Chains A and B, each alone.
Chain A
């Protein structure tokens, strides 16, 4: 698996650390209540097929990326900087 980092170019999967689904970028308000926080922290769509998830380019530029990926085939469709997705 190779991931196209927008800053560094396409790099080996070894350089990246997986964090989880990209919905982690949508953090609930501090007072959103325990159901919302439980959903955010623990519950997952866990898709089989196209997925968007967060990867950290640990051994590269140090950027957080949102990677579009197929969980059934390991095909990587693209990646963008998480800061652009989040803003």
Chain B
């Protein structure tokens, strides 16, 4: 089913009754060439690119809940490519380019809005660090503009520039950064994969991974056994449990990250604003809600909701940065489960089991990686070779110490990112 302005007009005239489900709801077949465990953003995009780029269509995506019900529907929708270190830099640059062509590619409106991202700084030292990061972004071929205080004021006049503790010295402006409608990204990829013949199987939880003589042969699920030549694990916060089915322990701790949204307001925040010193960032959705979040709660958790101390900290930071939003009423808060690695960077790699692949460790930045992760993981699963932009996302980098990507420079250790 195609989308067009004409179609929208026609459906409007006939009571919106012509819209049909945009993907099938098939029962699992007994065997597939490739099984993807996890029907989130990364799993769906992996299936989509396996079909589109590599012509592989005998694929099942197994989702224990429903499509769009996991982290892909629970994040704060930021899309950016402002990474510093080799490895991350080229990967997110590639992912952003995929974002920029995504709506045409999928023929689906994912409401990708390149409204610009501004990272604020508050000292001379931070200015130097952001100048260096900006240069790295430009060298990568992406865009970055170092704004002074007046430059920031032009974009964000509503900030408290003279806060005693964190006066605003300037910001690093990334014009191609922005947001996208997260549900639509999941739906668009689901529809695109389904149209190419991929079976999206919902309410199908994987309960075991079958391995014979060091080679994966299939999975056990709540809807029966499914044989497969290759299996990809793409389950974010649940990576530890699924990997355990294959006898693996991963360098991952699952943590909870909270997010908040206010009632709908008239347009006020035109950009994505990031206040790193307060662990706070904010944007405004097209519906008008202010969408904002903070740092991890900093203890391992699968509860999908946080505790009060971090909620208070986020509100403190909001009031420090922009007292103007003080009267906005918070409608909802929620938590997502983050698959945290020791160095804060992801993993796209083979495992010790032949035919078993893993894509995990996206920490709190998985949403912007949805296209790039799927593209690179599909490349690895289809060809057996690492895709160049993701070639450094190796599982063994923690053991060897080679190729660690610690963006924050805090050390490659759990609980520091």
B398 touches A38 (CB 8 A): yes
B309 touches A46 (CB 8 A): no
A20 touches B398 (CB 8 A): no
- CB 8 Å contact bits of A22-55 with B (1 = contact, 0 = none): 0000000000001100110111111111010101
A46 touches B253 (CB 8 A): yes
Cross-interface CB contact of A44 among B252, B298, B301, B399, cutoff 8 Å: B252
**Chain B residues whose C-beta falls within 8 Å of the C-beta of A20 in the assembled complex:** 253, 300, 414-415
A42 touches B399 (CB 8 A): yes
A87 contacts partner chain B, Cβ-Cβ < 8 Å = no
B167 contacts partner chain A, Cβ-Cβ < 8 Å = no
Cross-interface CB contact of B309 among A13, A47, A49, A73, cutoff 8 Å: A13
B160 CB to nearest A CB, Å: 25
A71 contacts partner chain B, Cβ-Cβ < 8 Å = yes
**Given A13-B309, A18-B298, A42-B414, A48 contacting B251 (CB threshold 8 A):** no
- CB 8 Å contact bits of B298-311 with A (1 = contact, 0 = none): 11111100010100
A43 touches B251 (CB 8 A): yes
B399 touches A46 (CB 8 A): no
Size of B's binding interface in residues, CB under 8 A: 25
**Chain B residues whose C-beta falls within 8 Å of the C-beta of A14 in the assembled complex:** 309
A10 contacts partner chain B, Cβ-Cβ < 8 Å = no
Of B238, B298, B398, B399, the most chain A CB neighbours within 10 A belong to: B399
B340 CB to nearest A CB, Å: 9
A71 touches B301 (CB 8 A): yes
A interface residue numbers (CB < 8 A to B): 1, 13-14, 17-21, 34-35, 38-39, 41-49, 51, 53, 55, 71-74
B307 touches A43 (CB 8 A): no
**Chain A residues whose C-beta falls within 8 Å of the C-beta of B252 in the assembled complex:** 44, 46
B188 contacts partner chain A, Cβ-Cβ < 8 Å = no
Cross-interface CB contact of B254 among A35, A48, A55, cutoff 8 Å: A48
B29 CB to nearest A CB, Å: 30
B309 touches A42 (CB 8 A): no
B307 touches A34 (CB 8 A): no
A41 touches B413 (CB 8 A): yes
**Chain B residues whose C-beta falls within 8 Å of the C-beta of A45 in the assembled complex:** 240, 244, 249
**Chain A residues whose C-beta falls within 8 Å of the C-beta of B241 in the assembled complex:** 46, 48
B73 contacts partner chain A, Cβ-Cβ < 8 Å = no
A72 touches B303 (CB 8 A): yes
- With CB as the reference atom, state the residue of chain A lying closest to B399: A38
B250 contacts partner chain A, Cβ-Cβ < 8 Å = yes
B250 touches A34 (CB 8 A): no
**Chain B residues whose C-beta falls within 8 Å of the C-beta of A53 in the assembled complex:** 299-300
Cross-interface CB contact of B302 among A18, A34, A42, A48, cutoff 8 Å: A48
* CA A48 to CA B237, docked complex, whole Å: 10
B342 contacts partner chain A, Cβ-Cβ < 8 Å = yes
B404 CB to nearest A CB, Å: 11
**Chain A residues whose C-beta falls within 8 Å of the C-beta of B298 in the assembled complex:** 17-18
**Chain B residues whose C-beta falls within 8 Å of the C-beta of A39 in the assembled complex:** 249
B residues 109-156 in Cβ contact with A at 8 Å: none
B73 CB to nearest A CB, Å: 20
**Chain A residues whose C-beta falls within 8 Å of the C-beta of B240 in the assembled complex:** 44-48
**Chain A residues whose C-beta falls within 8 Å of the C-beta of B413 in the assembled complex:** 41
B250 touches A46 (CB 8 A): yes
Of B238, B249, B250, B299, the most chain A CB neighbours within 10 A belong to: B299
* CA A13 to CA B300, docked complex, whole Å: 13
B250 touches A43 (CB 8 A): yes
B residues 227-246 in Cβ contact with A at 8 Å: 238-241, 244
Q: Can you report 5 A-B residue pairs in the complex whose CB atoms are below 8 A from each other?
A: A13-B309, A18-B299, A45-B249, A46-B254, A53-B300
**Chain B residues whose C-beta falls within 8 Å of the C-beta of A35 in the assembled complex:** 399
A74 touches B301 (CB 8 A): yes
Further contacts, 9 of them, CB under 8 A, given A20-B415, A41-B413: A1-B307, A18-B300, A18-B415, A42-B342, A44-B251, A44-B252, A44-B253, A46-B240, A46-B252
- CB 8 Å contact bits of B304-340 with A (1 = contact, 0 = none): 0001010000000000000000000000000000000
A-B complex: 7 closest residue pairs judged by Cβ atoms: A46-B240, A38-B399, A42-B251, A18-B299, A43-B249, A42-B398, A48-B302
A82 CB to nearest B CB, Å: 16
